[in-house]
Every structure is written in structure tokens, then in C-alpha cells.
Amino acid sequence: MNRLFPLTAALFAAATAHAEPYCANLLREDTLPKKYAKSAPVYSDTGSGWVFTKDQLKDRYDMKSSSQELVQAIVDEFAKRDVQLAIMVAPPRPVVAGQAQLDTAMGDVRYDVGAARASFDALLAGLAKTGAIVPNLSDAALADPALREDFYFQRDTHWTPTGAAVSAIELARLVNALAPDRLPNDGSFGVADLRPSGTIEENGSLAGLVRSVCGTDLDIETATSFDLTRSGGLLDDTAEGPAIALVGSSFSARYKRDHYRFGDALARAFDAEIENYSVSGGGPIGAIEAYVLSGALDRGEHPLVIWELPYTESFNSVSFLRQLLGALQRDVAPVEVAHVEQSAQSVSIKVDANASLSGIEITSGDLSNQSFRLQVRFDNGSTSKLSLSRRSSVPAEMRTASLYSSLKVFGHRTPVEIVISAGKGATIAGVGVF
């Protein structure tokens, strides 16, 4: 539940007196164009320039026990292959902006920054318990007022090169502390070593929203970039060593390139080559699922894999966790099923209650449209609904015909029937369980 509630006028009159939104239409779903409606209410302040959409104002991040179990199983699969998994979640933008900025922009609605940060910290603690290396990037962002001010763009959802560099440095420091033998040169480059070198420009997705709804053109934001030249030269042994895989989101591949120089910052912080497989718009697992299914993980091509995903993706949306775990466990032997009824649009599978299922494989008939819904019925009569899909932003060369989902971690319940439905435009070419 979001902790958004009306404020008393007396308590926050001073904070709201100077707040002026870009326009009132931002606050109402029915006055926003259809593609922006789900973002309402959108809070803004022309004085500070900050813009916050509804999806950024979550205050619950900590994982349920079922999610914790699934993440643990994912990390265990990496460990079986002797690959260290690092999970990087950018800190919530409202937490970095701070309570004063939120109060001014939101007027008589209250968002509890402290509660959001505590829940985010609990998420990171839960992720770290699995054996993954998980830096607390909210701590890193809030460690210094100047870093905090420069960490995020005000009219875009992404971090700046400052935010990217600080995050890379924090990860390298933590890897050096927790896995000192994993990478030879990590952890020796710090925030104090950052040297400005030019700027980058950001048109801003939130600036585009304001332009569309309010008819207001906002200035392009600029942010400082840095000299991230690696310390080792071409003939220097310190420049050699294993490469690192980065499988992230638009934070790592904005505009189909490393716009915020996160990969460059990682290369400098680790003094290692970074192979960036990130997918902008690919969702929480677009890049990492493709990496797993490519066989790179099984071949042990990288001793460290960095899974970066936005804080707006909830670990309690277990479908993507099951999909990633299914891909990791896809080589388990197939299971005989009692009965299958199949068409191009739906499949019903009845499973012997004594069968031990690990997962399911769906072969799609069209690589460009891979969206399926699963309803799993259990031996106690209960049901669970799952989705199994790839977003359209995942490039064709990173797709496979098969999608997988784990059918484990359901507590004491045993699946006895699985009904699969194809999404609009998708077709089912085949199904198997393992």
C-alpha cells in the first residue's frame, strides 16, 4: 500500500505555497493522452524542475518469502556454474530527491520518503542474503549532498553519468570486499578520482510528457561526464584479465547506446573489459534471459555477471523470476504428462500428481510476438496465474523460439493441470514440461 495521504494545511502550507506545477492536467488520468494515463497523477514543480510519475512513488520494495526463494534459486544456479551474480537496483528517484522536493511538488499529498527508503533497504538486504553481491545505491547516492543533487535527471527517469559512476564505484568496492579473488583490479578507483570531462545532453522522457500534456517546452538537461580512461595501457598487465558481462536496462543502454556511460564507469572501476548486453525497454530480464539462453553462462565466459534493473520493477511480480529460473533450469529431463489438448492458441496439460515438475517450455510460432498466459491448478484446488513473455524491445537476434518458466517454489502445492493461452497475435507451436 502506498503511504500517500492528505496533509494538514497548517503543517505544510509553507512547503506548498511556492509549488507551481507545469499544468493542472498532469494530475488527472482523464486529462492525459492514453499513452500517459497510467502515469497519473504526475507531480511537478516549475521552481525546482522535478517531475515525478505515479509508478515512481511506490513505497514497498521488500520481497515476499516466495520471491526470496525464487531469487535464491536463481543465484544458486549461477553459483553452480562458478559465476558470481551481482544485482544492481538503482535507488528510488523520490528517495534521492528528498522529502522537501516531494512535499513541494505534491502539495497536499504526502509520500513518506523515510518509509520508502527503509523498504528499499529491506529489499537489498533480502537480495544480499542469497549470496548475490548487492550494493546499496541509496546509501551511495545520499552519502554526499553534491552527489545526491547530481545523481538523477530532474525531468527524466534515469541517472546521470554521476549516478552511473558512483554506482559502478560502489559495486567494485563491494566486489573487492566480498569476492577479492574474483577480479584482479577492482576497488582501487574511487569517487575522489572522478575527473570531469565534458557533458552529455538528455531530452528527458518526463520533459516529453510535460510538452505533450501542457504544451510547455522545457530546456534540454545537461550533466557532467567524466574521464573514464582505464589505468592500464595496451601493453600493461593491469589492463588484462577476465571480462565482465553487463545485462541491464535503459540505465545501461539508453538510446541503444551507453548514453550515461555506466559500462565505461564499470570498466574504469574494475579496470576490466565490460561486455554490455543490455536492452533498453527489455524489462527486468530482457537482457539476462537472452544471456542465459545464449549459452554464455554455461560456457563460463564471464566470472561476474551484473544484472541491472530499475527500481520500478517489483521483485514481487514473480512471473519474471520464474521465467529466468526456468531458463536457468531448462536442461532438466522432460516429464511424461497424462494428457495434452493443444491448438495454436491454447494448450491444456494434465500432470500426474506424483510427477516432480521443474518447469515448462513453450515454443512460440512467431519470434516477434511472444506473449503467453499460464493458469496453474494445484492438487488442493487452488490456482495461480503467471505470464511468460518477451517485450518487443528485445532484438530479434537475442530471441529464441522457446520460453521457459519454473514450476517450483509453490509451497506444499503440487501442479496437476496447466492451461496456456496465447496473447493477441501470438501462437503456440509446442509445449513440454520438465
Return the H-helix or E-strand segment holding 31.
none
What mean pLDDT is predicted for residues 114-139? 98
Q: Are residues 339 and 250 in the same domain?
A: no
What mean pLDDT is predicted for residues 199-214? 96
Query: For residues 388 and 339, which has the higher predicted lDDT (pLDDT)?
Result: 388
> Does residue 45 fall inside a structural domain?
no
Q: Is the peptide bond before 91 cis (omega within 30 degrees of 0)?
A: no
Q: Are residues 260 and 299 in the same domain?
A: yes
Other C-beta atoms closer than 10 Å to the C-beta of 254 total 21
User: What is the DSSP secondary structure assignment for residue 107, as one 8-state letter?
Assistant: T
Span 85-104, pLDDT tens digits: 999 999 999 999 999 999 99
Q: Are residues 106 and 80 in the same domain?
A: yes
Of 313, 347, 363, which marks where a domain is finished?
313
> Does residue 241 fall inside a structural domain?
yes
The pLDDT of residue 231 is 74
Q: Are residues 364 and 232 in the same domain?
A: no
The pLDDT of residue 1 is 44
> Does residue 19 fall inside a structural domain?
no
The pLDDT of residue 18 is 53
Q: Are residues 345 and 208 in the same domain?
A: no
> Does residue 15 fall inside a structural domain?
no
Q: Are residues 255 and 341 in the same domain?
A: no
What is the C-alpha to C-alpha distance for residues 279 and 277, in angstroms, rounded to an integer?
A: 7
What mean pLDDT is predicted for residues 230-243? 64
Q: Is the pLDDT of residue 269 over 80?
A: yes
Q: Are residues 306 and 373 in the same domain?
A: no
Of 313, 344, 378, which marks where a domain is finished?
313
Which set of grid coordinates corresponds to residue 158? 534515469
Instruction: Report the CATH number at residue 378.
Output: 2.60.120.1380
Q: Are residues 286 and 146 in the same domain?
A: yes
Domain, as residue range, for 172: 57-313
Q: Which value, to the nearest 10 degrees, does the dihedral of the CA atoms of residues 23, 28, 31, 36 take?
A: 90
> Does residue 94 fall inside a structural domain?
yes
Sign of the Cα torsion 385, 359, 398, 163 reads: positive
Per this entry, what is the length of the chain?
434
The pLDDT of residue 380 is 94
Which set of grid coordinates corresponds to residue 301? 565466459
Domain count along the chain: 2
Query: For residues 145 and 343, which has the higher predicted lDDT (pLDDT)?
Result: 145
